[in-house]
Structure 1
Amino acid sequence: AVDFLSTQSFVDPQRIGGLGICGSGSFVISAAKIDPRIKAIATVSMYDMGAAARQGLNHAQSLEQRRQMIKAATDQRLVEFNGGPAVHVPGTVNKLEADTSEVQREFFDFYRTSRGAYTAEGERSDLTTQPLFSSLVKFVNFYPFNDIETISPRPMLFISGDHAHSREFSEDAYRRAGQPKERYWVKDAGHVDLYDRTDLIPFARLATFFQQGLAGK
């Protein structure tokens, strides 16, 4: 993407920034570590996809559970290699039950409704956020915050809802990052709120951050 932007006549290649939302927040950090052309980096409702795969939210997954997951994914990959059926991970449930967790309910309200469900003629909308199990486990080897301090002195902004279940990832990244860096908590906002609730998304703060960060101020 940076290569493409750098070749466009309407883009100043010295003023390219990166914004990542949810899982893409960890992707943009990973990219910025090895691409100094990304001059300012912001994340919103960031998920560290590696940590989420390895240990779950709030470190709820044990090492033994991780090992079992890796073994199951390895077995499934061989099944698919031999032409067997694929298995998708229920990243977001397709039906709410009495014991469905609050986190799943939050994602359901986005990905299983008109807010965020992918629908197209002949396509299955229930596969939105339903990745292949054999591929998802690769996130176990993803450590986006390792060496995050090497992004400095390029500025970083971490935005999260103050009620977001994913807030722990922004806290972790901010703690590790070098200067200049900033945390911005959106009052009364959860994780998914900052996907599409335009009354809560801090557009002004993002605009100021990039205007200043890409101007070298």
Structure 2
Amino acid sequence: MKRIGLIISITMTAITIVNGQAVQKDRPRNPYSLVYDGAINENVKGKVNIHPVTYKLNGIDIAANIYTPAGYDVGKKYPAVVVAHPNGGVKEQTAGLYAQRLAEAGYVTIAADAAYQGASGGEPRHTDKPAYRIDDIHGMADFITTYAGVDATRLGVLGICGGGGYTLKAAQSDKRFKAVSTLSMFNSGEVRRNGFQNSQLTTIQERLQKASDARAQEATSGKIMYAGVASITDEEIAKTTTDLYREGYQYYYRTHAHPNSTFLYTMSSLLDLMTWDAATNMDLINQPLLMIVGSKADTKYMTDEAFPKATNAKSKEMFVLDGATHIQSYWKPEYVNKAVGKLTDFFNKNLNTEQPE
């Protein structure tokens, strides 16, 4: 139990929660390494297809998947949606699921691994800095708006968990995004600074000192100090008291595990994370805003804090998934279906999209 406490106090990672699904080892191998239920296994003419791509962002190779709608015709113009993945997650997990489902609704979508993470390049590995994650979202917009068949004037964005917090910040300045949405938004800066549910307010300076020491070590010896957890036992998962972390460990390490997904990050990243906050300058968002959150999510307080601050949004709505926890919104069909339905209506309305036949 002591080890779990250490993991939670240091990691503060937005994790995804799963109950009652088949263990990852029992899931059939997917040729695109997708780990969500209903994932594409092959590209079939006339159906939604997946296109693995790579592109450069600040000199780093970014690995991404693009999903195209059924009957995709490069001679036509389609609306598009950028999907930003959770902290610790990769494009093959819930970001891919939502990207595929939105492609089924008629959108060209992109889900990319963040720089320094997943299958994307960047050293040191697992660097987790807000400026990089925000630029990842700008970079996805750069790439998808030049993709054949995409109408650059009809671009939306969906950020999930930590990707939701970074999406709020990206959309404050990037007006290419005509519609902004989040799912189970996680304010990484607030949690790294204050602890999950404000549980570490008395140790802020101590943790800043650890991050400073880690940065000093990198500069003097080149040795990288990591925070987080690389593996966890079933017993430790069962003893974890918060839904977010217990269900998140189960999702990421058991039911939807992917070799590129990790909850290690450089300790020095805390220098940037702990002085950053997703909910500042929310008044700069003047696009339509939709924030989706589970009624039972122990992270809901973050959406509740950010939503009222979007005072200049063209329109805004908080949509509550009744009965859902944070992680269940990543995978559980009844909640995914409701979220996708709401997202589709939202993007159709605000991106001037005709319903697919």
TM-score w.r.t. length of structure 1: 0.87
For 1:205 and 1:147, how far apart are their aligned partners in 2? 26
Which of 89, 96, 105 is equivalent to 2:227? 89
CA contact (8 A) 2:288 2:350 kept: yes
Take 2:228 and 2:249, find their aligned partners in 1: how far apart are those partners?
11
Structure 2 counterpart of 1:143: 277
% identical equivalent positions: 29
Please say if 1:113 is aligned against 2:254.
yes
Matched, 1:71 2:205: no
**Counterpart of 1:101 in structure 2: which amino acid?**
T
- Partner residue of 2:193? 54
- Trace 1:19-38 onto structure 2 (pairs within 5 A): 19-38=158-177
Q: Do structure 1's residue 133 and structure 2's residue 273 form an aligned pair?
A: no
Count of equivalent residues: 207
| CA–CA distance in structure 1, aligned partners of residues 178 and 247 of structure 2 | 33
Gapped regions of structure 2 (runs ≥ 5)? 1-139
Q: Distance in 2 between matches of 1:9 and 1:76?
A: 44
- 1:26, distance to aligned residue in structure 2 (A): 0.8
Corresponding residue to 2:320 among 180, 185, 189: 185
Amino acid at match of 1:199: E
- Aligned counterpart in structure 1 of residue 348 of structure 2, from 201, 211, 216: 211
Conserved 8 A contact 2:193-2:204: yes
For residues 165-191 of structure 1, give each alpha carbon's deviation from its aligned partner in whole angstroms, at most 9, with x where no partner exists: 110111111111124110111111101
Within 2, Cα distance between the matches of 1:119 and 1:166? 26
1:138–1:107 Cα change, 3 Å: same
Select which of 153, 156, 175 maps to 1:17. 156
Residues 22/150 of structure 1: CA separation in 2 closer, same or farther (3 Å cut): same
Shift of the alpha carbon at 1:92? 7.5
Work out whether residues 173 and 284 of structure 2, in 8 Å CA contact, stay in contact via their aligned partners in 1: no
Q: CA RMSD in A?
A: 2.0
Whether contact under 8 Å (1:93, 1:104) holds in the other structure is no
Q: 1:165 aligns with which of 286, 298, 320?
A: 298
Structure 1 counterpart of 2:241: 101
Secondary structure of 2:157's match?
A: strand
1:124-160 deviations in whole A, cap 9, x for unaligned? Answer: x7xx1221111134211222222212212x1101101
Extract unaligned runs of 5+ from structure 1. none
1:43 aligns to 2:178 (yes or no): no
SS at match of 2:150: coil
- Could you tell me how far apart the structure 2 residues matched to 1:16 and 1:187 are? 28
Q: Which residue of 2 aligns with 1:80?
A: 218
